[in-house]
Structure 1
Amino acid sequence: MAIRKLTAASELSAQQFRYYDFFMAATCVIIVCSNIIGAAKVATIAGFTFGAGVLFFPLSYVLGDVLTEVYGYSRARRVIWAGFAAAAFAAAMAAFITAMPPADNWNQNLGGIDTQTAFALNFGQVPRIIFASMLAIWCGEMANAFVMAKMKVWSQGKALYQRTIGSTVVGQGVDTLLFYPLAFGGIWSTELLVTVMVSNYILKVLWEVMLTPVTYIIVGKLKQAEGVDVYDKETRFTPFSIRR
Structure 2
Amino acid sequence: MTTTSPTPTRSSPAYAQRGSAYFDVLVAGMAVVIVLSNIGASKGVQFGPVVTDGGFFLFPLAYILGDVISEVYGFRAARRATLVGFAASALAVFSFWVIIALPGFTDDYGLAKQEALEVALGPVWQIVVASMAGFVAGQLSNAWVMSRMKARSQEKGLVARLMGSTGVGEAIDTILFCTIAATAIGITTLGQWASYVFFGFLWKTLVEFALVPLTRVVIGRLKQREPSYQAALLQS
Into which bin does the TM-score normalised by the smaller protein fall? 0.7 to 0.9
Q: Does 1:43 align with 2:49?
A: no
CA contact (8 A) 1:143 1:170 kept: yes
User: Do the aligned partners of 1:95 and 1:125 also contact (CA within 8 Å) in 2?
Assistant: no
1:144–1:171 CA contact under 8 A, matched in 2: yes
Of 62, 75, 78 in structure 2, the residue corresponding to residue 76 of structure 1 is: 78
Distance in 2 of aligned mates of 1:169 and 1:131: 22
Within-5 A mapping of 1:109-188: 114-125=112-123, 127-184=125-182, 188=188
Q: d(CA) in 2 for partners of 1:221 and 1:20?
A: 14
Query: Which residue in 1 is equivalent to 2:6?
Result: none
Deviations 1:80-119 (A, max 9, x none): 11111001110111122112221225x517xxx8111111
- 1:88 and 1:134 in contact (8 A); partners too: no
* Rounded Cα–Cα distance in structure 2 between residues aligned with 1:217 and 1:46: 35
Structure with greater contact order relative to length (CA < 8 Å, sep ≥ 6): 1
Displacement after TM superposition at 1:213 (Å)? 0.9
Work out the CA distance in 1 between the residues paired with 2:11 and 2:128.
38
Give ranges in structure 2 of 5+ residues lacking alignment.
Answer: 1-9
Shift of the alpha carbon at 1:50?
2.3
Sequence identity percentage: 37
Could you say which structure has the larger radius of gyration? 2
Give CA deviations for 1:52-99 in whole Å, capped at 9, x if unaligned: 312110100000000111111111111111111001110111122112
Residue 7 (structure 1) shift: 4.4
Residue 202 of structure 1 corresponds to: 202
Partner of 1:241: none
Instruction: Determine helix, strand or coil for the equivalent of 1:49.
Output: strand
Q: Gaps spanning 5+ residues in structure 1: where? A: 232-244
Aligned counterpart, 2:33: 30
> Helix, strand or coil: the match of 1:54?
coil
Are residue 21 (structure 1) and residue 3 (structure 2) matched? no
Displacement of 1:136: 1.4
Q: TM-score, normalised by structure 2?
A: 0.84
CA drift of 1:47 comes to 4.8
Q: What TM-score, normalized by structure 1, do the two folds share?
A: 0.81
Which residue pairs with 1:236 in the alignment?
none
Provide the residue aligned with 1:86 in structure 2: 88
How has the CA–CA distance of structure 1 residues 43 and 183 changed in structure 2, closer, same or farther, with 3 Å as cutoff?
closer
Q: How many aligned residue pairs are there? A: 220
Q: Partners of 1:25 and 1:86 in 2: how far apart?
A: 10
- Cα RMSD for the two superposed structures: 2.6
